[in-house]
Amino acid sequence: MGLKEQAAKGVFWVFAEQFGSQLIGFVINLVLARVLLPSDFGTIALYGIIMSVSAVLINGGLTSSLVRAQYVDERDLSTVFWFNFGVSLVVYCIVFFTAPLVASFYEVPVLTGLIRTYAIILIIDSFAAVQVSKVLKEMHFKTAFKIQLPSMLVGGATGIYFATHGHGVWSLIYSSLIQNFVYTLQYWIYSDWRPAFIFDMEKFKYHFSFGVKLTASSLLDTIFNNLYSIIIGKKFSPTQLGYYNRADSLKQLPITNIAGALNRVTFPLFSKIAHDDVALKKYYKTIVMVVIFLIAPLSVLMVVVAEPLIRFLLTEKWMPSVPYFQILSIGGIFYPIHAYNLNILQAKGRSDLYLRIEIIKKFVIVGVILASLSFGMMGLVWGSVLISIIAVFINTHYTSKFIDYPILNQFLDLLPSIIKALIIGAFVYFLDQYFLIKFADIIRLVISVLVYLLIYFGQAYLFKTKELFVLFDLFKGSIQKAEA
| Digit-coded pLDDT (tens) for 311-322 | 998 888 889 999
Q: Looking at the predicted structure, is the pLDDT value of residue 483 above 50?
A: no
Range with the lowest mean pLDDT among 94-103, 202-211, 257-266? Answer: 257-266
In angstroms, rounded to a whole number, what is the distance separating the alpha carbons of residues 166 and 477?
48
* pLDDT of amino acid 5: 53
CA gap 144, 109 in Å, rounded = 38
- Residue 362: the pLDDT is 82
The answer to whether 219 touches 56, Cβ cutoff 8 Å, is yes
Average pLDDT of span 358-386:
88
387: left (phi over 0), alpha (psi -120 to 50) or beta: alpha
DSSP 220-232: HHHHHHTHHHHHH
Instruction: Give the residue with greater pLDDT, 66 vs 247.
Output: 247
Are the beta carbons of 88 and 51 closer than 8 angstroms?
no
pLDDT at 229 over 50: yes
- One-letter amino acid at 435 equals F
Please name which of 380, 355, 276, 455 lies closest in space to residue 61, comparing C-alpha atoms: 355
State yes or no: pLDDT of 22 exceeds 80: no
110 pLDDT tier (thresholds 50, 70, 90): confident
**pLDDT computed for residue 480 by the predictor:** 43
Instruction: Give the tens place of pLDDT for each residue, 146-188.
Output: 787 888 889 888 988 888 888 888 888 898 899 889 989 988 8
Report the pLDDT averaged over residues 290-295. 87
**pLDDT in the model for residue 139:** 63
pLDDT mean over 283-299: 85
Percentage of the chain beyond pLDDT 90 is 17
Confidence of residue 482 (pLDDT cuts 50, 70, 90): very low
Between 25-39, 112-126, 326-340, 360-374, the lowest mean confidence (pLDDT) is in: 25-39
445-454: list long-range contacts, CB under 8 Å, 24+ apart. Answer: 445/305, 445/308, 445/309, 445/312, 448/301, 448/304, 448/305, 448/308, 449/301, 449/305, 452/297, 452/301, 452/304, 452/424, 452/425, 452/428, 453/297, 453/301
Confidence of residue 479 (pLDDT cuts 50, 70, 90): very low
Q: Are 478 and 265 in contact (CB under 8 A)?
A: no
CA–CA separation, 351 vs 40, rounded Å?
Answer: 38
Mean pLDDT of 289-315: 90
Instruction: Report pLDDT for 457.
Output: 93
| 87-91, 442-446, 468-472 — most confident range | 442-446
Label residue 454 exposed, middle or buried (CB < 10 Å: 0-12, 13-18, 19+): exposed
Confidence of residue 406 (pLDDT cuts 50, 70, 90): confident
The pLDDT score that the predictor gives to residue 423 is 95
For residue 41, the Cα-to-chain-centroid distance in whole angstroms is 18
Q: What is the pLDDT confidence band of residue 475, given thresholds at 50, 70 and 90?
A: low
Across the chain, mean pLDDT equals 80
pLDDT for res 449: 94
Residue 252 has pLDDT above 60, yes or no: yes
> What is the per-residue pLDDT for 50?
72
Q: What mean pLDDT do residues 243-258 have?
A: 79
How many Cβ atoms sit within 10 Å of the Cβ of residue 427? 14
List the domain boundaries for the chain.
36-225, 241-484
Q: What is the pLDDT of residue 422?
A: 94
Q: What is the pLDDT of residue 260?
A: 62
Which run of H or E residues covers position 178? helix 170-190
pLDDT for 220 beyond 50: yes
Indicate if the pLDDT at residue 206 is higher than 80. no
- Give the pLDDT band of residue 481 (cuts 50, 70, 90): very low
Between 210 and 295, residue with greater pLDDT: 295
Digit-coded pLDDT (tens) for 342-351? 777 767 767 6
Report the pLDDT value the prediction gives residue 140, as an integer from 0 to 100. 67
Angle, helix 351-372 to helix 376-403, in steps of 10 degrees = 160
- The end-to-end CA distance of the chain, in Å, is 11
User: What integer pLDDT is reported at residue 182 of this predicted model?
Assistant: 93
Side-chain half-sphere CA neighbours of 253 within 13 A: 19
- Predicted pLDDT of residue 425: 94
Confidence of residue 411 (pLDDT cuts 50, 70, 90): confident
